Structure 1
Amino acid sequence: MPVLKIAALALSLAPVAVAAQGAPPAPQLEFMFEAEVLLAPRVEVGGTAFGQRGYIPIIGGTFSGPAIKGKVVPGGWDWQLQTSAGCSSLHADYFLQTDDGVMFNVVNHGQFCLEKGQPFTPAFTQPRFEAPMGRYGWLNHGAWISRLEGGKDPAHPSVVIRFYRAR
């Protein structure tokens, strides 16, 4: 019984010890690069038990940042599911090619909700990269987040995606 009382006392004092030391610093986001992804019109697949399914073909674009630059390879897609509540989940899968010819895969997941009649507001997504070992191997590591918003290209439907790594 005394052991249980000591354990209970230790647990009750634990938050006081953490508060005295101060909270650990919050992660910071470091901008890595921005992509403008050109899109073809949405292809409707149809209604499913989970919502309205469709996909948006990725037809090109460009990307650049402090340590990387190149083009969006045509042929990827954004596989989307829209619910009756106005929310969508996305699963984009595509390739980027650097100016020096190295290709790497991007798989980006996210969810956003639109209010009827309102313009698209930026959404946050979770990208994952698969890059060859070597010069761009740093893409394979760390925690990433991206911010997705409407594109800037007046000639094509597009989205702008800013990629950040947590530090």
Structure 2
Amino acid sequence: MSFLKLVAVSALSLTTAAGAVEPSPPAPQLEFMFEAEVLLAPRVEVGQTAFGQRGYIPIIGGQFSGPAIKGKVVPGGWDWQLQSAAGCSNLHADYFLQTEDGVMFNVVNHGQFCPEKGQPFTPAFTSPRFEAPMGRYGWLNHGAWISRLEGGKDPAHPSVVIRFYRAH
């Protein structure tokens, strides 16, 4: 028997001896948790650095809501951005949300977006991390999260819409 035929017969006998081929584990599922519309002030240019063009965008307010949480975006946060020569921007946003019952929690969101030519904003996926007080909203501190960032709904008020999902 040739070597290749022996390998094929051995693999076949292992598969049939063990039963059906093991299925792949299920892919993670995303559960929508809430959506925020974050109001923005104009971008502040810091300047060219060794790593790219640095600037930041002040966060001045907004609202958020979802099935288990609702409230406002606290003014005073920011989104530091570093734009590469290729036109892609790395973002690092740090801000607070306050629930309608007065609980505040921190959001730190990292991501990268590369606008398509001629488009003012291209949707991007980001990786948020939450720091919430223990208690009613402690669930925000756990799990893997992803968010989708896109341009705001009202062109008269600069903003972004961020949809937050938890992976299961």
Query: Which segments of structure 1 move beyond 4 Å, counting only runs of 4 or more?
Result: none
User: How far is the alpha carbon of 1:155 from its aligned partner?
Assistant: 3.0
Number of aligned residue pairs: give it: 154
Q: Cα deviations across residues 104-154 of structure 1 (Å, max 9, x unaligned)? A: 000000001123323422100000000000000000000000000000133
Paired with 2:40 and 2:156, the residues of 1 have a C-alpha distance of 11
TM-score where L is the length of structure 2: 0.87
What are structure 2's unaligned runs of at least 5 residues? 1-6
1:53-132 paired onto structure 2 within 5 Å? 53-132=54-133
Q: C-alpha distance in 2, partners of 1:20/1:67? A: 41
Give 1:149's aligned residue. 150
RMSD: 1.7
What TM-score do the two structures reach when normalised by structure 1?
0.88
SS at match of 1:20: coil
d(CA) in 1 for partners of 2:140, 2:113: 25
For residues 94 and 100 of structure 2, the distance between their equivalents in structure 1, rounded to whole angstroms, comes to: 20
Deviations 1:38-61 (A, max 9, x none): 000000000001100000000000
Unpaired runs of 5+ residues, structure 1, are 1-8
- The one-letter code sitting in structure 2 at the alignment partner of 1:82 is Q
Q: 1: CA distance between counterparts of 2:121 and 2:153?
A: 13
Please tell me the residue identity of whatever aligns with 1:103: M
Please tell me whether the aligned partners of residues 86 and 116 of structure 1 are also in contact (alpha carbons under 8 angstroms): no
Whether the aligned pair in 1 keeps the contact of 2:116 and 2:122 (CA below 8 Å) is: no
